[in-house]
Amino acid sequence: MENYTIGFYLEKLYYIPHFEPVIKEIIKRNISYVIIIPKNRGRDELNQREESIKYCQEKGFTYCLDEEHRECNIMVFGNAPRHISTSFKKSALIMHGTWGGKTVNYAPDLNDVDLRFLDGKFMEDRLLELFPEKKSIYYISGYSKLDNYFQLTEEDRIKFLQSCHLDINKKTILYAPTFYPSSILKMGKKFPEDFAEYNIILKPHSHLFLRKRYRRDLHRLETWAKYPNVYLAHFNETDILPFLNASDLMISDMSSAVFEFAGIGKPAIVNMFLRYRLHDRLFPHKARKRLDTENFYLWEVADTPKRYQNMVKNAQEALAGTDKNKAKREELIHYVMGAVDGKVSPRIVDKLLELNNSIKA
């Protein structure tokens, strides 16, 4: 039986950007850890496990494929904890995204841990309304994914754009749609032509690569990628920080990516012209149940166009330097994201060690 102080359950590759800064802090402190990479799910179109292995190998991270014969004092999850073969004494949650307009962060099973890290005061306030009895497990740490952003330089920006075969002298639009509901099929078919004088980077949610039901959306992005001013990110490009560093404007849907971009002080657009499945169009109340409409005022960090033509106008204004949402963005971002100071992972590791010491006590 191999024993570790902290384990990370890497169920999906896109959890790694949240785990990585914490893992690096753990390595710095010489704490024993392991990343557990479970088998692929049957519905995945790509070999997600293989990509996770490759990523860990490139980074020099300790990982294992065998869930059994391991024991961790603390297991860290990126989503609701699962019943897994690895034994552990305590559990923690570093959620794989911040508030993004949906109720996903309020699922009761996300609280089935001993310690839940929260980004900012907003999520703590909301969860205490819903689950006051869980107060002791919540800890506001900030958003670990952004920790390494402020280490990036202008030279990094230039190198990244060159690797994408884009013009380093042009402003860059980052289109980062989510998987559902999404604006992809409601965008103008000639989106790259409408912004021909800019670079466009397409950074879709990983589900577009993994699920058959999103093939039409992915095909639209692949069509746009044929334009010389467009780059389509690959599935294994999990680290969004180089994309944030290289971009002047983000266009997205109802996604936590908007707050990641706003968190580094840049303007964003949230497309509200979204395509819903037939079932949700016939029964809109069911779709609304998944949306956190009560807190939609948080979208005031960005423009919220309801038509593609309005989005084009908003984008042109933002790219011209009209940052009209700056004051509101600065007011709300700390409430949602907590301190964006590059020191989130040390706070998380301190708290994990505190939890570990409670096991020994």
Of all helices (H) and strands (E), which one includes residue 262? helix 257-263
Q: Provide the pLDDT for residue 285.
A: 78
Yes or no: say if 316 and 117 are a contact pair by the CB < 8 Å rule.
no
Question: How far does the chain reach from its first CA to its final CA, in angstroms?
Answer: 23
Q: Along the 361 residues of the chain, how does pLDDT read in single tens digits?
A: 899 999 999 999 989 999 999 999 999 999 999 999 998 776 666 788 999 999 999 999 999 998 888 999 999 999 999 889 999 999 999 999 999 999 999 999 999 999 999 999 999 999 999 999 999 999 999 999 999 998 999 999 999 999 999 999 999 999 999 999 999 999 999 999 999 999 999 999 988 888 888 899 999 999 999 999 999 999 989 899 999 999 999 999 999 999 999 999 999 999 999 998 888 888 887 778 889 999 999 999 999 999 999 999 999 999 999 889 999 999 999 999 999 999 999 999 999 999 999 997 6
DSSP class of residue 114 equals S
Our CA angle for 201, 204, 208, nearest 5°, is: 140
- Give CA angle at 343 (262, 203), nearest 5°: 40
Identify the pLDDT of residue 43: 61
pLDDT at 303: 97
Q: What angle do CA 336, 338, 342 make, to 5 degrees?
A: 135
- CB-based burial of residue 308 (10 Å sphere; 0-12 exposed, 13-18 middle, 19+ buried)? middle
Torsion sign (Cα): 238, 40, 259, 81: negative
Amino acid 72 reads C
Query: How many residues are recorded in the chain?
Result: 361
Give the whole-angstrom CA distance, residue 95 versus residue 144: 10
HSE (side-chain half, CA atoms, 13 Å) at 45: 12
Distance between alpha carbon 254 and the CA centroid of its chain, in Å? 12
SS3 4: strand
Cα radius of gyration rounded to whole Å, the chain: 20
CB 62 within 8 A of CB 24: no
DSSP string, 155-173: HHHHHHHHHTT--TTS-EE
Give pLDDT, residue 44: 67
Domains, the chain, with CATH or none: 2-147+342-360 (3.40.50.2000), 149-337 (3.40.50.12580)
- In contact, 252 and 173? CB cutoff 8 Å: no
Evaluate whether 348 touches 24 at the Cβ level (below 8 Å): no
